């Protein structure tokens, strides 16, 4: 940092409250800086791309938040702070430059704050967050009242950053952009030095030079790991350097290391003197090393042994650092930030040592530049995983590179002779693939610096809900995790249902709905899936299917037929015919059940469901039962609004006394018409509502779109308003085809086609 810039920044930050704007405030590093500045009384605003409705999960209270980046956001700021990921073309950076507003990088601002304290910098390619958290907790327990700045949320510490009255300040310092060299700390703890961030650095020599500058600027002890080659070469000749590790060259040595199930024990030898034994409740040899570094620095600072041992035994880790998301007797789900081959190898070694039957590793590569640089090293990093699942690269704003893909990573691991490697390009498909192979005794671990943690959260959530609800239900109720919905839709497409629930009776139905309501679990009712398109990401929450015999009963009394919501329409027609009741013949060709027909007011052959309904019995999402006469229902074409918030349990239908011959004659006529006008291939029925001016099928035919296809999804040659699955189609194929048809209708006829088929679920 230029001396003039540093002086100007110091004067601004130390001359009373200032109006400061932070670009990218939702990032973990920037939100931590925000906490430090707020604690000193500054008035803060911040901007990011996170929707305002979600920003509170990232942004500390007291910050004025702007969704998106705009020049107007910085108009009255005295200082603008940005991370190295924010380009110079950012409108807020440009506006600050035009107005001569002081603008600095996040680390430059942090350096000024560190200079006001006794800063203890934790640096290295891996392990910084865990080690910084450990050191802060040790100093707290020793009544040092430290401030801290850490690159993740730490439950034990309350937040990722805090500014206190105490003199110590623990700083997790980032080496990715060279700003590590700006610090002049009281002490430095150097964990390791490896080739990383090669999108910024040219080679390892440039990286080592940044660490060398930190060592030169450190005023007190330099604690370094002698087991790391580059740290050893750099630090061993520094006058104030103190080494730690398992090597005999270390001043602080770990002896008798015992890696246990998600914990470890080791003894510490200091310059030949045995200090005692340490117990850690976080797993892995890498954390033994991290803890030993903390012990070395804390001891050099005068912290007592018993205080350190007690604090380390209490430590439980930082967010996304071997973070246990779910654990039961049968399954365990862990999320970890590891994205470098060295980190992955260490994390999987800890997972393998945990005592579970199998380790399923789910990895999302981070950045194209990093993936390209370490493609060969990834090959050997997964040997401790029983099965490996690779998804596509998390770009982190980088442009794609030819040949650098998640699939290339998977091929590299396969080439290392690993027996079970899978490539799934999206998180939705990854979730589904893992659930297909998941079995009791499995530990699932998600790895990566991107958004793969969402998969761990999804798996943990589903396992938790499943275990809790299963214990409440009767034995004959069916509850499944991640049930493939292509098995439950007539088009045979769709991702998984997070929970699939078939209650045995009304009591279990009400119980399941109350369970979902109390936990804010979304609920979706699925009939026979005849008018439904489920996206490839599946449906989150509880999918309820009234398919058990209780909900499929049909009872006839006079000309009234009481029908359960799960009864198939074809069965209703057959039962009516058996008792000499007509009026239901139009239902014979609708491949659905009563519940879906009521919700959609389904129809065919000039007949519709609500025309034959006398009353309905429904349940709301709180599990309350309602009896409603048809006269009290609002009814529209293909829509009954009541069923937007209620679910049909049963209905009373009114038939028309008819002879079997009359009924048979109608059924034969309807059947002939259907088989000559509707395709036999899997479909969701009519895709579009008739726009009014012309039937949708006729319009599509006139536009010449029959047989138009996207992958195996095709417009039927029999009827233009049917999209069929020729085998293996995805929901995305169907949705693309729908969009093509809508676009052509709009361009050629100025007609907006709206889907009759219901589209549900998550993007893949």
149 and 221 within one domain: yes
328 and 317 within one domain: no
In the chain, which stretches have pLDDT less than 50?
none
Q: Which residue has the tokens 């630090």?
A: 235
Domain count, the chain: 5
Give residues with Cβ within 8 angstroms of 729, minimum separation 6: 491, 492, 493, 711, 712, 713
Q: How far apart are CA 236 and CA 218, in angstroms?
A: 15
Distance of CA 33 to the CA centre of its chain: 25
67 and 213 within one domain: no
Which of 86, 113, 140 terminates a domain? The answer is: 113
Contact 517, 480 (CB under 8 A): no
327 and 365 within one domain: yes
Do the strands 713-715 and 722-725 form a parallel or antiparallel pair, or are they unpaired?
A: antiparallel
DSSP 304-332: -HHHHHHHHHH----TTSSEEEEE-SSEE
3-state secondary structure 35-65: HHHHHCCCEEEEEECCCHHHHCCCCCCCCEE
What pLDDT is attached to residue 676? 54
Largest alpha-carbon pair distance within the chain? Answer: 106
Strand partners, 23: 47
Contact 207, 175 (CB under 8 A): yes
Which of 635, 666, 697 terminates a domain? The answer is: 666
638 and 709 within one domain: no
What pLDDT is attached to residue 722? 94
Residue 497 in domain: no
Task: Specify the 3-state DSSP secondary structure of 214.
Answer: helix
Rg (CA), the chain: 32
What pLDDT is attached to residue 65? 95
HSE, side-chain direction, 13 A CA sphere, residue 395: 5
Residue 629 in domain: yes
Give residues with Cβ within 8 angstroms of 561, minimum separation 6: 554, 555, 572, 575, 576, 581, 584, 652, 653, 654, 655
Residue 249 in domain: yes
DSSP 527-569: -S-TTEEE-TT-EEEEEE---SGGGG-EEEETTEEEEETTSBH
What pLDDT is attached to residue 671? 67
Q: Which residue has the tokens 């470890």?
A: 264
State the CATH number of the domain containing residue 416: 3.90.190.20
265 and 150 within one domain: yes
Which residue segment(s) compose the domain that 576 sits in? Answer: 549-666
Do the strands 523-525 and 539-544 form a parallel or antiparallel pair, or are they unpaired?
A: parallel
Task: Specify the 3-state DSSP secondary structure of 445.
Answer: strand
424 and 335 within one domain: yes
Helix (H) or strand (E) holding 607: strand 607-608
DSSP state of 490: T
408 and 279 within one domain: no
What torsion do the CA atoms of 615, 620, 624, 629 make, to the nearest 10 degrees?
Answer: -10
3-state secondary structure 137-175: HHHHHCCCCCEEECCCCCCCCCCCEECCCCCEEEEECCC
What pLDDT is attached to residue 269? 96
Contact 551, 565 (CB under 8 A): yes
State the CATH number of the domain containing residue 741: 3.90.78.10
DSSP state of 366: B
Strand partners, 239: none
State the CATH number of the domain containing residue 310: 3.40.1190.10
What pLDDT is attached to residue 253? 96
Helix (H) or strand (E) holding 9: helix 3-14
What pLDDT is attached to residue 104? 93
Task: Specify the 3-state DSSP secondary structure of 714.
Answer: strand
273 and 261 within one domain: yes
432 and 387 within one domain: yes
Residue 530 in domain: no
Residue 672 in domain: no
Q: Which two tokens stand for residue 443?
A: 């530990």
State the CATH number of the domain containing residue 650: 3.30.465.10
Give residues with Cβ within 8 angstroms of 4, minimum separation 6: none
Which of 287, 321, 355 terminates a domain? The answer is: 321
Q: Which of 94, 88, 95, 175 is nearest to 128 (CA)?
A: 175
Residue 477 in domain: no
Residue 470 in domain: no
266 and 234 within one domain: yes
411 and 395 within one domain: yes
What are the Cα distances from residue 693, in Å, to 140, 603, 607, 698? 75, 20, 21, 11
What pLDDT is attached to residue 261? 74
Contact 232, 190 (CB under 8 A): no
Q: Which residue has the tokens 């934790």?
A: 122
Q: How far apart are CA 34 and CA 28, in angstroms?
A: 10
State the CATH number of the domain containing residue 37: 3.40.50.720
Residues 660-698: tens digit of each pLDDT: 888 888 878 766 655 555 777 899 989 999 998 899 999
Residue 506 in domain: no
């Amino acid at each position: 940092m230029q001396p003039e810039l540093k002086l100007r920044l110091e004067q601004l930050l130390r001359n009373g409250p200032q109006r400061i704007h932070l670009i990218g405030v939702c990032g973990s590093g920037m939100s931590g800086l925000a906490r430090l500045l707020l604690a000193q009384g500054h008035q803060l605003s911040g901007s990011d791309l996170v929707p305002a409705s979600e920003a509170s999960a990232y942004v500390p209270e007291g910050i004025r938040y702007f969704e998106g980046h705009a020049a107007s956001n910085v108009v009255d700021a005295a200082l603008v702070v940005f991370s190295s990921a924010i380009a110079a073309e950012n409108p807020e950076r440009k506006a600050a430059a035009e107005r001569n507003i002081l603008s600095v990088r996040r680390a430059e601002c942090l350096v000024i704050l560190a200079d006001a304290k006794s800063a203890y910098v934790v640096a290295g390619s891996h392990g910084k967050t865990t080690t910084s958290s450990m050191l802060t907790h040790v100093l707290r327990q020793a009544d040092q009242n430290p401030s801290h700045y850490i690159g993740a949320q730490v439950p034990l510490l309350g937040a990722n950053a805090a500014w206190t009255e105490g003199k110590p300040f623990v700083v997790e310092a980032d080496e990715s952009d060279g700003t590590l060299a700006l610090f002049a700390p009281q002490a430095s703890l150097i964990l390791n030095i490896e080739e990383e961030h090669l999108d910024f650095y040219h080679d390892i020599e440039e990286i080592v030079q940044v660490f060398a500058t930190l060592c030169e600027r450190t005023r007190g002890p330099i604690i370094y790991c002698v087991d790391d080659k580059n740290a050893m070469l750099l630090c061993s000749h520094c006058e104030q350097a103190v080494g730690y590790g398992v090597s005999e060259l270390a001043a602080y040595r770990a002896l008798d290391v015992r890696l246990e199930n998600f914990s470890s024990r080791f003894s510490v030898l200091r310059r030949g003197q045995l200090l005692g034994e340490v117990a850690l409740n976080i797993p892995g040899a890498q954390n033994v090393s991290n803890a030993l570094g903390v012990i070395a620095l804390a001891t050099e600072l005068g912290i007592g042994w018993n205080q350190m041992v007690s604090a380390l035994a209490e430590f439980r880790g930082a967010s996304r650092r071997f973070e246990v998301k779910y654990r039961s007797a049968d399954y365990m789900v862990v999320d970890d930030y590891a994205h470098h081959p060295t980190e992955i190898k260490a994390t999987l070694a800890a997972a393998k040592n945990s005592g579970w039957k199998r380790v399923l590793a789910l990895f999302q590569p981070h950045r194209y530049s990093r993936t390209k640089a370490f493609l060969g090293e990834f090959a050997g990093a997964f040997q401790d995983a029983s099965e490996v699942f690779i998804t596509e690269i998390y770009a982190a704003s980088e442009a794609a590179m030819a040949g650098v893909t998640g699939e290339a990573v998977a091929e590299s691991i396969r080439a290392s002779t690993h027996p079970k490697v899978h490539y799934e390009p999206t998180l939705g498909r990854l979730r589904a693939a893992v659930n297909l192979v998941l079995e009791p005794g499995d530990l699932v671990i998600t790895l990566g610096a991107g958004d793969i943690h969402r998969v761990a959260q999804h798996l943990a959530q589903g396992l938790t809900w499943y275990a809790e609800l299963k214990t409440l239900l009767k034995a004959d109720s069916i509850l499944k995790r991640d049930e493939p919905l292509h098995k439950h839709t007539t088009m045979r497409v769709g991702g998984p249902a997070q929970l699939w629930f078939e209650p045995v009776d009304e009591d279990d139905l009400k119980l399941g709905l109350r369970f979902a309501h109390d936990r804010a679990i979304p609920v979706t009712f699925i009939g026979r899936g005849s008018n439904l398109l489920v996206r490839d990401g599946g449906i989150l929450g509880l999918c309820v299917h009234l398919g058990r015999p209780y909900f499929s009963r049909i009872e006839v009394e006079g000309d009234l037929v009481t029908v359960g919501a799960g009864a198939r329409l074809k069965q209703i027609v057959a039962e009516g015919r058996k008792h000499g009741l007509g009026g239901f013949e139009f239902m014979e060709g609708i491949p659905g059940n009563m519940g879906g027909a009521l919700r959609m007011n389904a129809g065919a052959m000039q007949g519709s469901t609500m025309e034959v309904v006398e009353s309905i019995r429904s349940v709301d999402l709180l599990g309350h039962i309602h009896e409603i006469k048809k006269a009290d229902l609002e009814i529209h074409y293909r829509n009954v609004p009541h069923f937007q918030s209620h679910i049909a349990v049963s209905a009373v239908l009114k038939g028309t006394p008819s002879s079997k011959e009359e009924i048979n004659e109608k059924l034969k006529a309807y059947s002939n018409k259907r088989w000559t006008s509707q395709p036999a291939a899997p479909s969701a029925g009519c895709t579009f509502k008739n726009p009014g001016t012309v039937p949708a099928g006729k319009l599509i035919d006139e536009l010449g779109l029959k047989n138009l296809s996207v992958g195996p999804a095709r417009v039927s040659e029999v009827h233009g308003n049917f999209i069929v699955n020729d085998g293996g189609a995805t929901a995305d194929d169907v949705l693309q085809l729908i969009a093509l048809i809508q676009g052509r209708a709009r361009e050629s006829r100025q007609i907006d086609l709206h889907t009759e088929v219901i589209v549900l679920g998550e993007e893949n």
